[in-house]
Structure 1
Amino acid sequence: MNPLRRLTSAAVCILTVTALCLGTPALATAQAPTPTSDPKPVLPQKEAQRRALHEAARLGDHSYYDADKVDADGHSSQSLSRLATTLAFPATPPQPDTDDCLSANDAERKEGRTYNRLLWCQKIEYRARYQTVDTSGNVRYWGTNAIRWNMVAMGSNTQRAIRIFWRPEAGSVRYLDWTDPTVVPSTLPFAVRPECAQGSSYCSTSGSAATNSWAGWNTTTGWSAWDVQGPALANDSSREKITTFDWHLTTDATTPRFPLGGGKTLDLPFRCDSADYFSRFGQSFDRACVFTTVIPHLQYRLSSPKHGAVARHIYDAQLSPDTSYPAEGHRKVIPGRWTNDPDDPALHRVEGSGTIAKANETWKDYACNRNGPYNAVTGLPPRTPQQEADKWQCDEYPFHATAEGASSGTWDFSVRWVPPSQNASAGGSLISYFFDDRILFVNDPFWVQINP
């Protein structure tokens, strides 16, 4: 693609740097960015979640968790799984995920791209427009400095914090419309620093502003990094201690000649929790911060040799519930299919050995064994002789570890015989998905998508 065409197609952020009166131009070290507005109020968790999901649907940002990439031992080859088990923040953005994220056109939106629950990125041009205002109110425009930057935010499954990485694209600084020889635009300062939108009483940012002249930034290749911490509220006695915040990048291009100015990027939401029920291969992951502007959904494939029969069961249950067993005396409604509408019925995780999951297992067995409220007509037909010999198992959807499972008084369910290896593979992928996408008990809606 022509680089000029690519540049004009990207979102451009503009900061106006204004002076109140004319005077002798002067150069100064860049000042640390200051808050550009009053602290943002903390939204109730459910409202913050609703807004984030609708924004994710509008932008088309999904988690893209593919069950076919989960090995039999529970390890996954996909990027989300690798990020989820990172014990500490790296000094530079994780690869190859960062390059993959930044290579997409969506990264050039003003909202950036939420790659998954643990990675966000942006590749954008930013412009600082310099002008002055004399004592009579007359505005004089002096010129504009432009810079392209890459920004990456990384979540964590071991800390109540996210890490923000920022760097300019070397050679991207441009000086536009400058004609007055008394101002050397390349020597003017420019500073950046992330900030918690809710203010330091709720969340805080480590480190000072990254400052340099425009000429200095034009040759910079290293990353600047900061951590945004989201501690639990002191009076929160809940198990998960969920808190929701927003962060943005603040900018400052002010000097004594241009003393007013300072901007920020869009607010981007994240959620922190202290859920104590996440572990992976003997390692506990009891603190986390994840990005919420992404649709959490699990994907199975009909063509998969690992779980194709289970995928077909889910597909049929979602699209043709009335053809599924157990037969009911009403139109069956089975939730969990992703349709790009976060208001559509979702699934919600429950504890796998808890009361709801055990009740789901009981009702599944009723349908599979044709007893309890079901009989030879309404229950699942017995296995064929070959299925009996191969020890096929009774699969259920919605999953037994969901509030919408077989015992739900609101939703219907489906059961079907499937090969035991495929049942185990699909179940193992579900457990891995819960961990990698940080699906909390009851709180987090998620959906299931069946691909060809």
Structure 2
Amino acid sequence: MSLPIPAPRRRLTRMGLCALAVVSLCLGTPALAAAQAPTPTPGPPTSAAKPMLSPEEAHKRALREATRLGNHSYYDATKVRDDGRSSQSLSRLATAAAFPAAPPQPDTDDCLASDDAERKEGRTYNRLLWCQTIEYRARYQTIDQSGNVKYWGTNALRWNMVALGSNTQRAIRVFWRPVPGSVKYLDWAGGSVIPSQLLFAVRADCAQGAPLCSTTGAAAFNTWGDWNTTTAWSSWDIEAPALANDSTREKISSLDWHLSTDGRSPGFPIGGGQTIDLPFRCDSADYFSRFGQPHDRACVFTTVIPHLQYSRSSPKHGAVAEHIYEAQMSPDTTYPAESHRKVIPGKWMNDPDAPSLHRVEGSGAIASANTTWKNYACNRNGAYTPITGLPPKTPQQEAEKWQCDEYPFRATAEGASSGTWDFSVRWVPKAQNGSAGGSLISYFFDDRILFVNDPFWVQINP
């Protein structure tokens, strides 16, 4: 599979007019010389840095792309322990204070093993991990002063690439390495050029450039022959500091990154390009913490549709899952009873246009109003009567101290006080209500769900 070969940088004039093809290196007559390290540049030298989209524009673009590619980031509440820690490696990565020296397992191998990883867009595994495994080809040719093109041969390799987000830094780390033994020399007919001694260099770069973002680390370069035996990962950190003039609470930066490639070698002085731009988002939201430790800086990958999963068969939260399932599937059978057909949002349908939920501050006015309206429905007062409100607990439920559960959640803009959406309440066991609520809090943290900005959905499994 030949994806994705870098795009042309520009039209060049060198002893005649030469159009640099996407997999070609355009040059004059080749002559071997002392090896020099090529240095990939952040993008086409004739183009300005890419402008940064607004959070709203970037979000719409990311969800459309996620739908097209079928990317989704799900969070399974059954894997959240009683102490709020998740057994999912997503959580372990999210709380790491620094990036690891190598891509984390088992998620990396699982991501790379997918057919989706062989797309030019790669695979967005979840909000904190992206991967790609593809074949790259560099086509070497020369042109003389009359415009005659001579094709010399093609070098090819497969690479693995992994990008990590973070819930502790405004940065992502990009890892790259060739698949050992994957280098191929195609169509070379001998002569003065030894294709295994030609150079190939790569570096991860941010499309927007300074001051919005920057890359740490020099380009990784080697001969094609040496790349064929390399097993070590090369890595770069793309950093996106908060802008000094951004007065918003989250200080969101919606950015893009790509891999710059460079095949310049002695006798072949021109050639290079970049992979397609891939989006990521950084923020400085001050309302994330885990076990007393603030996590007020983060970068995540947005080309996924995020959703939370509960299971009806789970002994930890099954009653809550059953409540949400019936609220989503049969809202008119739920309490409180309304005089109109009830419409309750948040059902996972793998569709970015489906009615979603939006997180709000748990101690804010919306959450407080949600509680007030939930209590009206649960206690059969305020706007609700003994007929329209939730029937009282049974003696057994009373003895076991069951609690009134609500959906959509209290911490969402679509909760009980919403003037647009309806809601549902039901008595559920206290322990299960607490477990489901704890999983929701963990999900907000591990998937970095911002207030208002991030829509999310809920899927109910059997």
After TM superposition, the score normalised by the length of structure 1 is 0.96
- Runs of 4 or more above 6 Å deviation: none
In 2, Cα distance between the equivalents of 1:346 and 1:130? 51
Judged with a 3 Å threshold, the aligned counterparts in structure 2 of structure 1 residues 20 and 225 are, in CA distance, closer, same or farther, namely closer
2:22 maps to 1:30: no
Could you tell me which residue of structure 2 aligns to residue 5 of structure 1? none
Deviations 1:244-277 (Å, cap 9, x if unpaired)?
Answer: 1000000000124222221211111111111111
CA–CA distance in structure 1, aligned partners of residues 277 and 242 of structure 2? 20
The one-letter code matched in structure 2 to 1:245 is L
Q: Which residue of 2 aligns with 1:314?
A: 324
Name which of 288, 306, 328 aligns with 2:338: 328
Secondary structure of the residue aligned to 1:64 is: strand
- Mapped pair 1:366 → 2:373: no
The answer on whether the counterparts of 1:192 and 1:249 sit within 8 Å (CA) in structure 2 is: yes
Partner of 2:26 in structure 1? 19
Deviations 1:394-427 (A, max 9, x none): 1000000001100011111011111111111100
Gaps in structure 1 of 5+ consecutive residues: 1-7
Assess if the C-alpha contact under 8 Å between 1:16 and 1:131 holds in 2: no
Matched position secondary structure for 1:198 = coil
Asked if the contact 2:31/2:266 (under 8 Å) is kept, the reply is no
2:303 to 293, 303, 320: 293
Taking the aligned partners of 1:201 and 1:17, their CA distance within structure 2 comes to 32
Task: Name the residue aligned to 1:392.
Answer: 402
* 1:147 aligns to 2:157 (yes or no): yes
- Give me the whole-angstrom Cα distance separating, in 2, the residues matched to 1:305 and 1:327: 28
- 1:212-256: CA deviations, max 9, x gaps? 000011111111111000111120011111111000000000124
Question: C-alpha separation between the residues in 2 aligned to 1:296 and 1:286?
Answer: 20
Q: How far apart in 2 are the matches of 1:135 and 1:445?
A: 58
Counterparts of 2:124 and 2:161, CA distance in 1? 12
Q: Tell me how far apart the structure 2 counterparts of residues 42 and 256 of structure 1 sit (CA, whole Å).
A: 37
Cα distance in structure 2, aligned partners of 1:230 and 1:59: 26
* Of 280, 287, 305, the match for 2:315: 305
Q: Retained in 1: the 8 A contact 2:165–2:300?
A: yes
Equivalent position of 1:4 in the other structure: none
Alignment of 1:10-409 (within 5 A): 11=3, 13=5, 15-26=22-33, 28-37=35-44, 38=47, 39-409=49-419
Deviation track 1:118-173 (CA, whole Å, cap 9, x = no partner) reads 11111111111111122222222211101111111111111111111111111110
Contact 1:12–1:127 under 8 Å retained in 2:
no
d(CA) in 2 for partners of 1:234, 1:133? 49
SS in 2 for 1:386: helix
Look up the SS of the partner of 1:300 in the other structure: strand
Mapped to 2, the partners of 1:449 and 1:262 lie a distance apart of: 44
For 2:72, what is the secondary structure of its paired residue? Answer: coil
AA in 1 matched with 2:303: T
User: AA paired with 1:16?
Assistant: V
Structure-1 residue corresponding to 2:10: none
The question of whether the paired residues in 1 share the 8 Å contact of 2:36 and 2:266 is answered with no
Given residue 432 of structure 1, which amino acid in structure 2 is its aligned partner?
Answer: S
CA–CA distance in structure 1, aligned partners of residues 449 and 176 of structure 2: 29
Give 2:376's aligned amino acid.
Y
Structure 2 unaligned residues grouped into runs of 5+: 7-21
Q: Which amino acid aligns with 2:5?
A: C
Partners in 2 of 1:53 and 1:244 — Cα distance?
A: 13
- Alpha carbons 1:142, 1:180 under 8 Å: kept: no
* Kept after mapping to 2: 8 A contact 1:30/1:253: no
Residue 107 of structure 1 and its aligned partner are, at CA, apart by: 1.3
Percent identity among equivalent residues? 74
